[in-house]
A and B are shown apart, each in its own frame.
Chain A
């Protein structure tokens, strides 16, 4: 890694030294100005514009690689994680400043990964010291790409009925079963996987969360072709896969608690998709460009009202996401907000794509040809249908709200 290009203002191993928030902000601003490549200072046009890291990572550009390296060196790919495992060691206030300064210059996230969003936080919360030392630093540096082995053909919404079994062989388990809807399993290096370790226990009490390398003999993957034409998900087959016992996170048969914790993270992530893929232009700006205005009013009045209603709803959703953060910071959080945000956010994202079809008409439904971006919009529209299914369907979120918050049942 080229350390001469990026000159940290402070020694990364000793954290950040700034007497005040303003001073810290000034330092961050200056560092970003000299370290964030120009081409990395524009909004993500698409989910696929992200850098996912991993052993087989193919960088979209040199700038993307350099940006990741520089941020990883400071631990700012994971700003709030502890310094001792390579994280940024920032407090909430500082992390917010970093986020704001990155947003100010439209800096792209240097790294997107299930390691950062899901298994990393779970290992930090539930994992042994050895697991933290082994797995956290490579996640921060984007060296290992993780995938999630949760759903099975017979265990979707009813995840706890999963059947993949892990037999105790003394110092290791032998795992057999099948996972499905494993995001990017064919490009991932390691899997975090829910397995049944106590087949006779009640279904929630016999589950463990284990980690293994996707190169372990017996692991094979097969991409699933979706209606969008893409294959972001795989089937993963596990045939006599050896998993060391020290790769169990949080104790044998304790997996369900961690699974629930991770599902909360996943919900928040998916619920936020609308925001991340919205890009620089708003729906109404796109509509004005495509359809035009008459006396300042969009030419299609019924589409105008539908777009206005969506933008108002989107605004209400974004403010709610903001309010949840502010309440948590003030110690007034309710903890069950993730179901509301997941439900509302994914439904909004689906509506957004339906409105884009309304704006672009048949242009949006052309499947091939350079003139139509090779069907990119049609593909994104179809992909959005999965948002309210993955990570707990909308109906599951409504179940959670009515049972845990409203006390109905």
Chain B
């Protein structure tokens, strides 16, 4: 597949860019932060996104979705990186919807129209520690006569505080650290024994610590195959990581463009600081890296869309590369802006904070380099 966007995808990218810049720019996130908003996102914005069909982009048409695919959704993810827009889009429409589309039984897929309609919010509960490790699952699901009893704790569940349904990975067999014997369950966030504690992150976005104490679910709560949760979760995480990579690309491009503009305007010693070669070369190096980051993101999104056999590796390549480039871009942005770059008044702080959270979510650059090596046979 050619590494370019088609006409429809380009139009979606442009309209998403325009819409978010107008309706949900960085100031919107600043406002949510300063007002300590209870949801951590704007319900009105979510309604507008729903009106445009965004929650259903990855959902088949028969369930009220647009079936527009990962390349299209990736353009929105990238645009959200440029504006740092907070919304349930990632947790619900990317992770939640993908899990249900990939594995849901008939009854569970009946939830998809509600996701398309923006009525149902989901969250994926994967990790039990601060560093991503999808096989380190101690949480248990003990078989009972009518279903399962869940016990354990999940950490840093993205948008877990506002979700109605949690997708939870628990151990139905085997010991912690093994990828075998894991199963995904759909759990009502309001069920008895579920305790959700909101954690506001450095990027002013939300995650949650979720405790499960003797939470009873029936057999129909199993998503996908019993003991087959790891493989399913892996696919969902690949999708999540590809969209995080797209968001990181948006972040990196935005801070870079803002920095270049500053280099063209800021004067010291009677000249613009962009006339200094010491800064020019660093900016040019960053430009070269950004060009390459763009290529790996597009290939990863295309790979997911086509179910390419090498798609897992393409995603790890993208997450590893873009995380590194986004680190460089945000660090250089602050350094090249000088003192003003350290102030909360300028937006750069929001970008560097989000960049690091997005990198750490579901594996940072080193995690994905290791995974790349593993998938490459070394």
A-to-B contact residues, CB < 8 Å: 282, 284, 287-288, 293, 296-298, 304-305, 307-309, 311-313, 315-317, 319-320, 322-323, 326-327, 329-330, 332, 337, 340, 343-344, 395, 397-399, 401-403, 405-409
Contact = CB atoms under 8 A, between A and B. Distances in A.
B378 A287 contact: yes
Given A330-B2, A409-B275, A304 B378 contact: yes
A316 B260 contact: no
Given A315-B296, A344-B288, A323 B376 contact: no
The 4 closest A-B pairs by CB, nearest first: A402-B280, A401-B284, A408-B274, A319-B295
B280 A284 contact: no
A322 B369 CA distance: 23
B293 interface: yes
B161 interface: no
B377 interface: yes
Contacts of A397: 284
Nearest to B287: A401
A319 B299 contact: yes
Contacts of A293: 378
Nearest to B299: A319
Nearest to A291: B378
Interface string B356-378: 00000000001001101110111
A311 B295 CA distance: 15
Contacts of A340: 287-288, 291
A329 B4 CA distance: 10
Contact of B376 (A284, A309, A329): A284
Interface string B1-23: 01110000000000000000000
B126 interface: no
8 contacts: A284-B378, A320-B291, A340-B287, A344-B292, A403-B280, A406-B280, A406-B284, A408-B260
B366 A296 contact: no
A55 B203 CA distance: 67
A316 B296 contact: yes
A350 B274 CA distance: 29
A326 B295 CA distance: 11
Given A284-B376, A284-B377, A312-B372, A407 B264 contact: yes
B369 A408 contact: no
Given A313-B321, A398-B280, A305 B295 contact: no
Residue from B285, B288, B295 whose CB has the most chain A CB atoms within 10 Å: B288
B78 to A, nearest CB: 15
A316 B293 contact: yes
B364 to A, nearest CB: 12
A14 B290 CA distance: 45
B3 A322 contact: yes
B199 to A, nearest CB: 30
A347 to B, nearest CB: 9
A326 B6 CA distance: 12
Contacts of B326: none
A408 B3 contact: no
Contact of A316 (B277, B280, B285, B295): B295
A307 B287 contact: no
A409 B263 CA distance: 9
B2 A326 contact: yes
Contacts of A407: 260, 264
A319 B373 contact: no
Interface in B330-378: 366, 369-370, 372-374, 376-378
Given A297-B378, A320-B291, A408-B275, A327 B283 contact: no
Interface string B266-291: 00000010110101110111011001
B317 A316 contact: yes
A123 B128 CA distance: 66
B296 A319 contact: yes
Given A305-B366, A409-B280, A319 B293 contact: no
Nearest to B273: A408
Nearest to A306: B369
B190 to A, nearest CB: 43
Nearest to B296: A316
Interface string B134-165: 00000000000000000000000000000000
A78 to B, nearest CB: 25
Nearest to A332: B4
Contact of B377 (A288, A312, A319): A288
Contacts of A317: 292
B263 A408 contact: yes
Interface in B299-322: 299, 317, 320-321
Given A298-B373, A305-B366, A326-B2, A320 B295 contact: yes
A2 B77 CA distance: 60
Given A319-B299, A329-B2, A408-B280, A398 B285 contact: yes
Contact of A308 (B280, B294, B299, B373): B373
A101 B356 CA distance: 44
A330 B4 contact: yes
Nearest to B314: A315
B298 interface: yes
Contacts of B260: 406-408
A305 to B, nearest CB: 6
B377 A409 contact: no
B335 to A, nearest CB: 16
Given A330-B2, A330-B4, A323 B295 contact: yes
A315 B294 CA distance: 12
A309 to B, nearest CB: 6
Nearest to B292: A316
A351 to B, nearest CB: 14
Contacts of A305: 366, 369-370, 373
Given A326-B2, A402-B281, A312 B317 contact: yes
Contacts of B320: 308-309, 312
A105 to B, nearest CB: 22
A317 to B, nearest CB: 6
Contacts of B280: 398-399, 402-403, 406, 408-409
